[in-house]
Every structure is written in structure tokens, then in C-alpha cells.
Amino acid sequence: QVQLVESGGGLVQPGGSLRLSCAASGFTLDYWTIGWFRQAPGKEREGVSYISSSDGSTYYADSVKGRFTISRDNAKNTVYLQMNSLKPEDTAVYYCGRATTYYPLSEGEYDYWGQGTQVTVSS
């Protein structure tokens, strides 16, 4: 049974850091591209980052470029999202998903999702 479980969210002050984890089970993570999305209240879900299974290349949305870093630990079957210099506009529920393509362009190219983890950036 394919399962993705996010963890690591919480409340942090502006300028702070968090590391999100996406633990995979039921499949071998290094064969799949894994992405992070987020959804803020009243807004559509937006893509944040992904790491490709093809060549390990990464993608970042312009809004997080230079602040967020995605990585994977195949031995632990886990993908991480290191988030630094957090801003109030980063507040959202963060989801990880498994993509069916190497370089996904849209949410429709994902077949499994985790339940999400809340990130709140506030003083």
C-alpha cells in the first residue's frame, strides 16, 4: 500500500527555519520523483519544489528559490524540505506527492499525496 506521511511542521517566527519530512512506504522512493506543494487558506494549491528520480535535478518555485532546499535519503525512503528565512506568506499546509513523470509540470501528474503538515510563520 502506497503511503506518504509528512511531518515537521509547526509554528515558527519570521526568519526562522523548519525541516519537513516526507516518509514513503509501499514503494521504493528513489524510483519516483517527489514533490512538495502547499495550500494557504483561500488559495489554490501551488507547487513548491520537486526532486527528480531521473537525475536528481531539482525545481523550486520563484517564491522559495534560495530559501528552500529539497533533498532525499533513499536509505530512509524519505524526502526532506529544508525551509530557511521563513516569511509569513509561507504559512500553509504543506503536502508531498509522488509524481508519475520525471519532471512534473502540474498537480495532475501526481498520483499519491500525504495528509499534509501545517506550517505557520508568525511572530
Q: How far apart are CA 13 and CA 81, in angstroms?
A: 18
DSSP reduced 3-state for 88? helix
Contact predicate 70/52, CB 8 Å: no
How distant is the alpha carbon of residue 77 from its chain centre? 14
Q: 31 — phi, psi (to 5°)?
A: -90, 0
Predicted local distance difference test score (pLDDT) of residue 84: 98
Mean pLDDT, range 82-109, rounded to an integer:
96
Q: How far apart are CA 52 and CA 40, in angstroms?
A: 25
Predicted local distance difference test score (pLDDT) of residue 30: 85
Within 13 Å of residue 93, how many CA atoms lie on the same side as its CB?
Answer: 12
Amino acid at the residue 6: E
Predicted local distance difference test score (pLDDT) of residue 64: 98
User: Which residue, among 56, 54, 49, 64, has the nearest Cα to 97 in the 3D structure?
Assistant: 49
Q: How far apart are CA 92 and CA 27, in angstroms?
A: 27
Mean pLDDT, range 74-83, rounded to an integer:
96
Predicted local distance difference test score (pLDDT) of residue 105: 85
